[in-house]
């Protein structure tokens, strides 16, 4: 599993490690997006709250044997609970809200479109990094951020594939996840990624699972749907999120979330081949704007302040 305890040094090798984590995270997140979209295609009556709660329950059950059989893993759980407990609780609340909005967007829009729109988190992260973490940007990096705007605009105007309510949901969700990044970077710099993520999932199931059940928003679904949601949640909401949290040790939040732009490329291509989602000119041009912006950011990061 993911265990990285060495002190973080601001070196080129650690920056490279951070980008590697980000790319692997993007792959796991892409699998999660495609899996959730597939579940909605197969079971249209599934609502976002049910998808989130059963997804996390399924993921917790699938990962549980690891903690049952591994004493070091259980010790890291205890350390994480004692040291990072309040951060985990705060992020659990944020993730529950952001997660429902994310799944809602996936229900009402193509997976590739949602993944691209969610990359507005880069702009939010840049603003948070500048204000709260004293991160600084060059003119080239600012140009990279600026290229995201037309890219997001092109995707947001795909009216036939994305409802306005889905656009609003994913943009708010991205803002919430940007706050999550800020909290992790500022208050949990030496977290254990997998244990942090597992405790977060437990908190979310207990807190918001209970609320959604009482509100009648969680329904019983076939076991095969629980298995699908649980499996893709292990990929995106457990392993992917654990690596994402680990990457915070090595990258500024603006750079980290910029590197995640590889995710929508993966999702767009995979959704075209696996789910039959169209790959039209607006998607291609929007994706190109975003990827050029990403190249400017990463290129500068490796050649400049590393």
Which residues have C-beta within 8 Å of that of residue 277, sequence separation ≥ 6?
110, 111, 112, 161, 268, 271
Burial 82-103 (b: 16+ CB within 10 A, else e): eebeebbebbbebbbebbbbbb
Chain segment 227-269, per-residue pLDDT in tens = 999 999 999 888 998 999 999 988 888 778 777 777 877 887 7
pLDDT exceeds 90 at position 209: no
pLDDT band at 306 (very low <50, low <70, confident <90, very high): very low
Q: Under a CB-based contact definition with an 8 Å cutoff, are residues 300 and 136 in contact?
A: no
Q: Which of 182, 86, 72, 166 is nearest to 127 (CA)?
A: 182
Region 102-129 average pLDDT:
78
Residue 304 token pair: 């400049």
Chain segment 154-208, per-residue pLDDT in tens = 766 665 556 778 888 988 998 999 999 899 988 998 899 999 999 999 998 998 8
* Whole-number pLDDT of residue 297: 64
pLDDT exceeds 60 at position 127: yes
pLDDT exceeds 50 at position 3: no
Residue 72's alpha-carbon distances to 76, 82, 113, 198, 273, in angstroms, are: 6, 16, 40, 15, 41
At 192, give phi and psi (nearest 5°). -95, 110
Cα separation, 224 vs 85, in Å, equals 33
Q: Helices marked H in 205-280 — which ranges?
A: 210-214, 223-233, 241-247, 253-259, 262-274
């Amino acid at each position: 599993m993911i265990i990285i305890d060495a002190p973080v040094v601001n070196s080129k090798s650690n920056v490279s490690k951070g980008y590697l984590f980000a790319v692997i995270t993007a792959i796991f997140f892409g699998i999660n997006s495609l899996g959730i979209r597939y579940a909605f295609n197969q079971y249209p009556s599934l609502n976002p709250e049910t998808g989130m709660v059963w997804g996390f329950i399924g993921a917790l059950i699938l990962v549980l044997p690891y903690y049952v059989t591994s004493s070091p893993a259980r010790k890291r759980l205890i350390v994480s609970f004692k040291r990072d407990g309040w951060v985990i609780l705060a992020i659990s609340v944020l993730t529950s809200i952001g997660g429902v909005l994310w799944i809602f967007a996936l229900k009402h829009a193509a997976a590739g479109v949602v993944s691209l729109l969610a990359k507005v988190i880069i702009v939010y992260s840049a603003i948070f990094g500048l204000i709260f973490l004293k991160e600084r940007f060059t003119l080239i990096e600012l140009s990279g951020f600026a290229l995201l705007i037309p890219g997001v605009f092109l995707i947001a105007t795909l009216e036939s594939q994305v409802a306005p309510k889905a656009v609003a949901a994913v943009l708010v969700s991205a803002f919430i996840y940007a706050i999550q990044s800020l909290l992790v970077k500022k208050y949990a710099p030496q977290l254990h990624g997998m244990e942090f993520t597992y405790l977060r999932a437990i908190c979310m199931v207990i807190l918001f699972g209970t609320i959604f059940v009482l509100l009648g928003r969680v329904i019983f679904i076939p076991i095969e749907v629980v298995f699908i949601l649980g499996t893709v949640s292990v990929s995106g909401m457990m392993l992917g999120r654990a690596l994402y949290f680990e990457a915070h040790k090595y990258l500024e939040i603006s750079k980290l979330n910029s590197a995640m732009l590889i995710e929508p490329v993966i999702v767009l291509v995979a959704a075209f081949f696996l789910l039959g989602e169209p790959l039209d000119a607006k998607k291609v041009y929007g994706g190109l704007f975003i990827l050029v912006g990403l190249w400017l950011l990463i290129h500068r990061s490796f050649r400049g302040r590393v």
